[in-house]
């Protein structure tokens, strides 16, 4: 576990300098990697931010209904589970995609919102060699590989996770901060 934390901190200093997330947090209770940020959006009500967050889920996923696990308008909570493909070279062969599962939690209040991306899981797609590949938490994945597979692969996986989280963050920011014009038709 110490090796993971050191690797994450080193990567955060080098890879994240120009990106939204500038540090990697390890949750003190769960021990899991989380990315979180609080963003101020002046003069926008909780209800409007909730609506924009709900719209973001609807636009960015095939079905917001299948992604969203919790919606609470009064408390300003939207929590969803999703996945997307990530790519990192494992060999000289073609770069096969790997599924990256994660949880997106969006909490809104008047004038600000909090984004938390957590609960990362990694799973290969089924192949002729493994019809039912195991799903690993990010932490398990990084610690379960034999020594000869570690090193650059860890850095590539974490870089892909950072790419995913920064993409989510920037996408949500663009929706939450956009000035909405009254539709006067």
182 occurs within a structural domain: no
pLDDT at 55 over 50: yes
User: What average pLDDT does this structure show over 95-113?
Assistant: 92
pLDDT at 18 exceeding the cut of 60: no
In this prediction the pTM is 0.79
| Domains identified in the chain, total number | 1
In CATH, what number is assigned to the domain containing residue 47? 3.30.530.80
Average pLDDT, the chain: 81
Q: Is residue 184 part of a domain?
A: no
Share of the chain above pLDDT 70, in %: 76
Domain assignment present for 181: no
- 154-167 burial code (b ≥16 CB/10 A, e <16): bbebbbbbbebbbe
Report whether pLDDT(182) > 70. no
> Per-residue pLDDT averaged across 124-152, rounded?
77
**pLDDT over 70 at 165, yes or no:** yes
Residue 16, pLDDT > 50, answer no
Domain extent for 55: 2-176
Residue 13 lies in a domain: yes
Let me know if residue 84 belongs to a domain. yes
Note whether residue 146 is domain-resident. yes
Mean pLDDT in residue range 26-32: 83
């Amino acid at each position: 576990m110490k090796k993971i934390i050191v690797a994450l901190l080193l990567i955060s200093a080098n890879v994240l300098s120009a990106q939204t997330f500038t540090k990697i947090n390890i949750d003190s209770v769960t021990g899991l990697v989380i990315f979180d940020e609080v963003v101020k959006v002046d003069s926008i009500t909780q209800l409007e931010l909730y609506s924009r967050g709900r719209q973001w889920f609807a636009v960015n996923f095939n079905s917001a209904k299948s992604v969203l696990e919790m919606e609470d308008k009064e408390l300003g909570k939207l929590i969803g589970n999703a996945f997307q493909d990530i790519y990192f070279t494992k060999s000289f062969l073609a770069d096969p995609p790997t599924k990256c599962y994660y949880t997106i939690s969006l909490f809104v209040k008047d004038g600000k919102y909090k984004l938390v991306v957590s609960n990362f899981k990694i799973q290969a797609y089924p192949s002729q060699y493994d019809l039912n590949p195991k799903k690993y938490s990010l932490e398990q994945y990084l610690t379960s590989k034999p020594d000869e597979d570690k090193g650059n692969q860890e850095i590539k996986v974490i870089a892909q996770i950072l790419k995913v989280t920064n993409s989510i963050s920037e996408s949500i920011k663009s929706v939450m901060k956009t000035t909405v014009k009254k539709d006067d038709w």
